[in-house]
Chains A and B, each alone.
Chain A
Amino acid sequence: MIQVQGLVKSFGHTYALRDVDLEVTQGQFLTIVGPNGAGKTTLLRILATLLKPTSGLVRIDGLDVASRSAEIRRRIGFVSHQSLTYSKLTVEENLVFYGRIYDVPAVKERVDTLLTLVGLEARRHDAARTLSRGMQQRLSIARAMIHQPSLLLLDEPYTGLDQQAAEMLRQLLQTITAESCTVVMTTHNLQRALELCHTVAILAKGRIVHEAENTSLTLDDFQQAYWHYVGDRWPR
């Protein structure tokens, strides 16, 4: 599904990603953890075709992100730090708009389905700006799912959510992943990182420094690994 080899991204003389290798198979849930400035958002924005790699190979479903970006965009849904929704439009109008620019057939029915899925049917006629942070995040997920993408990219989706909203989001992501959608999520919350994923990777200073299957991984083991690679003992 996703193949990344020797990915480098620099902004002038600053390197955000250095020689990143990554492989994600169909239906897999990969969580990437790392401290602020590790390059998580840059990596997701490259996968989402919003940034071009400086060098290296990035393929999604065998398609190169640099040259086949339009085809890739049909397959991906991206949930960013920001909601990517129009505050003056209603919840429903936002989804219908995105449905139209994604050429979604029977867009009204799709919007109804998504509003039920994310629990926003009662707020469908309310302006997006009136929603709480948790609701905006759920609207953002509905927006990202409008075209039924096979790959969902989530950039720190739990940021700014209270416990209740975070739990609702977790349940929503569980439902989505049950539909065999491939998911790549970034977070710096180690507990959240292990909740749903099949594989977890640690990104530090632009490099994938650790990758592990989440079959028998405990939070303590993972925290130790995280601080080993990211903490002060990590060579500067």
Chain B
Amino acid sequence: MSFLNKVLAIVGKDVVAELRTKEMFSSMLVFALLVIVIFSFSFELRVENVAQVAPGILWVTFVFASTLELNRSLAMEMENGCLDGLFLAPMDRSAIYFGKMLGNLIFISAIEALMLPIFSVLFDLNLILPSLLLTIFLGTIGFAAVGTLLSAIAVNTRAREVMLPVLLFPIILPVVISATKVTGGILDGVPLADWAHWLRFLVAFDIIFLAVSYMTFDFVVQG
């Protein structure tokens, strides 16, 4: 219970700080919107069936926008040395990891929730489907899990804004591919049996990424 309280304290602190300024939320929103609009107009000119490329565009948008949040997540802890403040607390450092990861998950999910209706309109697709929402949630867990860990590595480097995508994109490729395949299956109305293995992949990668991040976070951040 104490562990959970500490995780929730970290999440709550991040949410309050963001709600106060909305700096990152508005940046992510505008960025995601721009990506969707640019893709929408560029594919409209060349691709006959936009629905075929929609899953890819959707996930590229989410991944790009999420990178902004992941970059900021640990960077805000560097201001005034707050990361030291967290490390000084008598708690397992995995509480810091889960707190930051859940915060990232909340912010990214909020942006995705706002983007889906806009995406639906621009691409003339119904994306508000329970199975698709579950897939998006699973995919988001995957890159929030590994992205939080990698942002802890990148935050101590001089070129952290560049370093995070360089580290993150190759590693989250399995999550993006699985999520895109499942999304395509759902939007095309293909029977579950044909894409269920991609869904299993997605769940498996989520579990692996969460477990590995949990086990290595202390090692990554220790001085």
Tell whether A101 pairs with B81 under 8 Å between CB atoms, given A48-B88, A73-B88, A73-B89.
Answer: no
The residue that B223 contacts in the complex, of A51, A82, A84, A86, with Cβ under 8 A, is A51
Asked if A84 and B16 sit within 8 Å, CB to CB, the answer is no
What 0/1 pattern do residues 59 to 96 of A give for CB contact below 8 A with B? 00000000000110110101011111111110001000
Q: How many positions in chain A have a CB within 8 Å of any CB in the partner chain?
A: 31
**Are A93 and B85 within 8 A (Cβ)?**
no
Tell yes or no: B197 within 8 A of A by CB: no
Q: Is the CB of B90 within 8 A of A71?
A: yes
Q: Which residues of B contact A100 (CB under 8 A)?
A: 5-6, 9
Assess whether A50 is interfacial by the CB under 8 Å rule.
yes
- SS class, residues of chain B in contact with chain A: helix
**In the complex, what distance in Å separates the CA atom of A71 from the CA atom of B90?**
7
Contact A93 B16 (CB under 8 A): yes
CB distance from B14 to the nearest CB of A (A): 9
Q: Name the contact of B88 in the complex, choosing from A78, A88, A97, A103 (C-beta under 8 A).
A: A78
B1-31: CB near A (< 8 Å → 1, else 0) gives 0100110011011001100110000000000
Q: Across the interface, do A50 and B223 meet the contact criterion of CB distance under 8 Å?
A: yes
**A83 and B89 contact, CB distance less than 8 A:** no
Within 8 A of A (CB), among B149-189: none
A227 at the interface (CB under 8 A from B): no
**Is B87 in contact with chain A by the CB < 8 A criterion?**
yes
Bound Cα distance A70, B87 (Å) = 10
- Look across to chain A and name the residue whose beta carbon is closest to the beta carbon of B23: A88
Q: B222 within 8 Å of A by Cβ?
A: yes
**Inside 8 A of B76's CB, which chain A residues have their CB?**
86
- Kindly supply a per-residue 1/0 record for chain A positions 26-65, scoring 1 wherever the CB is within 8 Å of any chain B CB and 0 otherwise: 0000000000000000000100111110000000000000
Residues of B within 8 A of A (CB): 2, 5-6, 9-10, 12-13, 16-17, 20-21, 76, 79-82, 84-92, 95, 222-223
Which residues of A are at the interface with B, using a C-beta cutoff of 8 A?
Answer: 45, 48-52, 70-71, 73-74, 76, 78, 80-89, 93, 97-98, 100-103, 127, 143
17 contacts between A and B (CB under 8 A): A50-B84, A50-B88, A52-B223, A70-B90, A73-B88, A81-B81, A82-B84, A83-B81, A86-B80, A87-B80, A88-B16, A88-B20, A89-B13, A101-B91, A102-B89, A102-B90, A127-B20
Given contact pairs A84-B82, A87-B80, A102-B89, a sample of 4 additional A-B residue pairs in the complex whose CB atoms are under 8 Å apart: A83-B81, A84-B80, A84-B81, A93-B13
